[in-house]
């Protein structure tokens, strides 16, 4: 007999920890290879952790609601055979992915220079001097918000052994404006608590006898936190433009049956719109960026987030990686795959990571246009309105006349800290130009 250490697997480039939400197996139960043992939740999606071996579950090391770091042993499985524990442990840890392209010496020098400047501007927090455990995510949030170690240690944790979880520090930050502690400021910078108007202070709510009180589920709490944080972080500005998509509607109606027969995929309007957005982002890379304090990060890849409504009413944003490199068929397959897996709850944590710009289709619910909230740390989000038949003036060499056209609104929300009206308006106009210039004779 041998013992196998089941570890929390690597779930994405930026995922450092997960919360255990449910154990699917009890101690003493038999487990088959690739059978799910427990369910976990990251800050984006829920997923299952399968066993890599067949055997009997002999020990559970963490309980429901415990926060576990990637690579930590979460359970012990007793297996048949003579394989040593150390060898099995080595087998259970997936090798780190190797980057396809090594950074150039110039890029390394630039990164080093940026790091040195950042070190001079902000004194790092020495977490090693504390006896308490803080997850990488909590440390990153504390550093970004300027929370000192002394201040961090005053936060009451809800995790195992009083550990500070992500929700604990986010709740602390939201209510921080009413507390005496403020962020340390650097030269020529005012404390955020002096400039930011708190919108999270508790307001008394009267409850009548017939009212029903329902606690938010975990995902809704996370969404609420993200939305409030985004509004408090970015200076939201909107630009709107009306687009004539008559040619697109006619082309899709003509080819959708043949497309599905040949490719085995339904052809919706979404991949056509995504294709235009990806092209516009190549033209205006100033929208394909992120903001990190006083620094702007220009993203190399164009990864389009696709906001999707879940059956339970919540929202999730899976990401189409390298969207600018996909043709229409590839885009349709990516859109359908992510959409279907989102509805079925089968998304992997990595499916929601790395987005550089987001598109949301408010027209699905009949909305003509909307003012979406930016998906941090991105700087823009585009809302697609409903396509409607409307009377419009049509210009021809013989003169103008009134005709019925298929039109829709594009609503562009962008971060006015780094994106001015000229750039934000030009970008959404370029998307509209690509859609209106759609070739009705193109092959898919």
DSSP-H helix ranges across 246-319: 246-263, 270-283
Contact between residue 208 and residue 350 where contact means Cβ atoms under 8 Å apart: no
pLDDT one-digit tens code per residue, 200-252: 455 777 788 789 888 888 778 888 888 999 999 999 999 999 999 999 999 99
pLDDT one-digit tens code per residue, 154-164: 888 877 667 78
**Residue 392 to residues 175, 388, 405, 406, Cα–Cα distance (Å):** 51, 12, 6, 9
Which of the residues 168, 420, 433, 439 is marked catalytic? 420
Phi, psi of 107, deg, nearest 5:
-65, -40
pTM (whole model) above 0.85 = no
Contact between residue 79 and residue 4 where contact means Cβ atoms under 8 Å apart: yes
Is the per-residue pLDDT at 283 higher than 50? yes
Sign of CA pseudo-dihedral 245, 246, 247, 250: positive
Topology of the domain covering 236-436:
Chloramphenicol Acetyltransferase (3.30.559)
Closest by CA position to 232, among listed 188, 155, 173? 173
Which of the residues 168, 337, 416, 433 is marked catalytic? 416
Q: Which of 2-6, 86-90, 123-127, 192-196 tops mean pLDDT?
A: 2-6
pLDDT in the model for residue 187:
38
Q: For 93-97, 280-284, 311-315, which range has the lowest pLDDT when averaged over its residues?
A: 93-97
pLDDT one-digit tens code per residue, 35-62: 889 988 876 677 788 888 899 999 999 9
Characterize the bridge pairing of strands 304-306 and 357-360: parallel
pLDDT one-digit tens code per residue, 63-122: 988 888 888 999 999 987 654 444 444 444 444 444 444 455 555 455 455 445 444 444
Domains 2-92 and 105-189 share a fold: no
Domain 105-189: homologous superfamily in CATH: E3-binding domain (4.10.320.10)
In CATH, the number for domain 2-92 is 2.40.50.100
Contact between residue 359 and residue 273 where contact means Cβ atoms under 8 Å apart: yes
| Residues 284, 288: Cα–Cα separation, whole Å | 8
Tell me, yes or no, if 236 is annotated catalytic.
Answer: no
Contact between residue 92 and residue 4 where contact means Cβ atoms under 8 Å apart: yes
Is the per-residue pLDDT at 331 higher than 90? yes
Q: Where are the beta strands (DSSP E) in 275-386?
A: 289-292, 295-298, 304-306, 308-309, 315-316, 319-320, 357-360, 380-384
Tell me, yes or no, if 416 is annotated catalytic.
Answer: yes
pLDDT in the model for residue 242:
97
| Residues 234, 250: Cα–Cα separation, whole Å | 39
| Residues 330, 149: Cα–Cα separation, whole Å | 48
Q: Region 320-340: what's the mean pLDDT?
A: 96
pLDDT in the model for residue 136:
64
| Residue 428 pLDDT class (50, 70, 90 cuts) | very high
Domain boundaries, the chain: 2-92, 105-189, 236-436
| Residues 402, 165: Cα–Cα separation, whole Å | 61
Q: Region 121-135: what's the mean pLDDT?
A: 63
Q: CB under 8 Å to 397, separation ≥6 — which residues?
A: none
Whether omega before 377 lies within 30 degrees of 0, making that bond cis, reads yes
CA end-to-end span of the chain? 57
């Amino acid at each position: 007999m041998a013992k196998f250490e089941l570890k929390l697997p690597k779930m994405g480039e930026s995922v450092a920890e997960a919360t255990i939400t449910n154990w699917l197996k009890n101690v003493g139960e038999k487990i088959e290879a690739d059978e799910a043992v427990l369910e976990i939740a990251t800050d984006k999606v829920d997923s299952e952790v399968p066993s890599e071996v067949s055997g009997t579950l002999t020990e559970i090391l963490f309980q429901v609601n415990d926060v576990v770091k990637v690579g930590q042993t979460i359970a012990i499985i007793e297996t048949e055979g003579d394989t040593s524990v150390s060898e099995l442990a080595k087998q259970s840890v997936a090798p780190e992915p190797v980057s396809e392209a090594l950074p150039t010496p110039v890029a390394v020098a630039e990164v080093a220079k940026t790091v040195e400047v950042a070190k001079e501007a902000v004194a790092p927090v020495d977490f090693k001097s504390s006896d308490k455990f803080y997850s990488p995510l909590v440390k990153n949030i504390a550093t970004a918000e300027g929370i000192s170690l002394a201040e961090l240690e005053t936060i009451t944790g809800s995790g195992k052994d009083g550990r500070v979880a992500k929700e604990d520090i986010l709740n602390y930050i939201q209510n921080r404006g009413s507390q005496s502690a403020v962020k340390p400021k650097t030269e020529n910078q005012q404390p955020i608590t002096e400039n930011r108007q708190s919108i999270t202070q508790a307001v008394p709510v009267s409850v009548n006898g017939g009212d029903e009180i329902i606690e938010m589920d975990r995902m809704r709490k996370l969404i609420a936190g993200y939305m409030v944080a985004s509004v408090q972080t970015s200076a939201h500005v909107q630009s709107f433009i009306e687009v004539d998509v008559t040619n697109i509607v006619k082309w899709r109606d003509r080819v959708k049956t043949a497309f599905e027969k040949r490719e085995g995929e339904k052809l919706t309007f979404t991949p056509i719109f995504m294709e235009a957005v990806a092209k516009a982002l190549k033209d205006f890379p100033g929208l394909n960026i992120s903001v990190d304090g006083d620094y702007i990060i220009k993203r190399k890849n164009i990864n389009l987030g696709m906001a999707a409504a879940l059956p339970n009413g919540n929202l999730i944003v899976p990401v189409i990686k390298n969207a600018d490199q996909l043709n229409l068929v590839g885009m349709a397959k990516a859109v359908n795959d992510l959409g279907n897996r989102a509805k079925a709850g089968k998304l992997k944590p990595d499916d929601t990571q790395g987005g550089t710009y987001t598109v949301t289709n408010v027209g699905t619910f009949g909305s003509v246009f909307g003012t979406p909230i930016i998906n941090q740390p991105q700087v823009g989000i585009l809302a697609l309105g409903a396509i409607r038949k409307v009377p419009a003036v049509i210009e021809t060499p013989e003169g103008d006349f009134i005709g019925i056209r298929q039109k829709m609104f594009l609503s562009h929300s962008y971060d006015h800290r780094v994106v001015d009206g000229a750039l934000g308006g030009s970008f959404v106009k370029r998307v509209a130009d690509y859609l209106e210039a759609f070739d009705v004779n193109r092959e898919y």
